[in-house]
Amino acid sequence: MFWVVSCHISYALIIVILKPLYFIYSFNYDYHHEELCNLESRQLFGVEMNHKVVSSEVKMDPSISPFIRNRLDVCVADADYDLFLDKIKYLGITLHDFVVEYLVIEGDVANKATRRARQKDVGYCIYGRPDFKNPLITYAICYLNESWCFGILHKEDITWHRHRQKPHSFSNSIGTIIAKTLVSVASQGHTAVKLLDACCGVGTVMLEACIAGFRIAGCDINPRAYHHALQNLKFYDYEAELYHSDIKDLTQTYDTAIIDLPYNLYSLTTDNIATHIITSAAARASRLVVVSIADIEPVITAAGLRVVDYATVVKRGKSLFTRKIWVCEPQ
Ligand SMILES: C[S@@+](CC[C@H](N)C(=O)[O-])C[C@H]1O[C@@H](n2cnc3c(N)ncnc32)[C@H](O)[C@@H]1O
61-94 pLDDT tens trace: 999 999 999 999 999 999 999 999 999 999 999 9
Most confident of 203-212, 267-276, 308-317: 203-212
169, pLDDT greater than 80 = yes
Compute the distance from residue 202 Cα to the ligand 1 centre, in Å.
9
Q: How far apart are CA 70 and CA 210, in angstroms?
A: 21
Pick the closest to residue 325 from 124, 208, 174 (CA basis): 174
Q: Which CATH architecture has domain 2-155?
A: 2-Layer Sandwich (3.30)
Pocket probe for ligand 1: among 163, 172, 206, the residue whose CB has the most ligand atoms within 8 Å is 172
Pocket probe for ligand 1: among 220, 226, 233, 277, the residue whose CB has the most ligand atoms within 8 Å is 220
Which residue intervals of the chain bear CATH 3.30.2130.30?
Answer: 2-155
Which region among 5-9, 61-65, 67-71, 207-211 has the lowest average model confidence (pLDDT)? Answer: 5-9
- pTM of model > 0.85: yes
SS3 69: strand
Compute the distance from residue 289 Cα to the ligand 1 centre, in Å.
14
Pick the closest to residue 307 from 320, 316, 295 (CA basis): 295
pLDDT averaged over the chain? Answer: 92
Q: How far apart are CA 49 and CA 60, in angstroms?
A: 15
pLDDT average, residue stretch 36-65: 97
Q: Is the dihedral of CA 283, 287, 292, 298 positive or negative?
A: positive
Interval 152-162: pLDDT, tens: 999 999 999 99
Q: How far apart are CA 222 and CA 199, in angstroms?
A: 9
pLDDT average, residue stretch 205-227: 97
Q: Does domain 159-330 have CATH number 3.40.50.150?
A: yes
Which residue intervals of the chain bear CATH 3.40.50.150?
Answer: 159-330
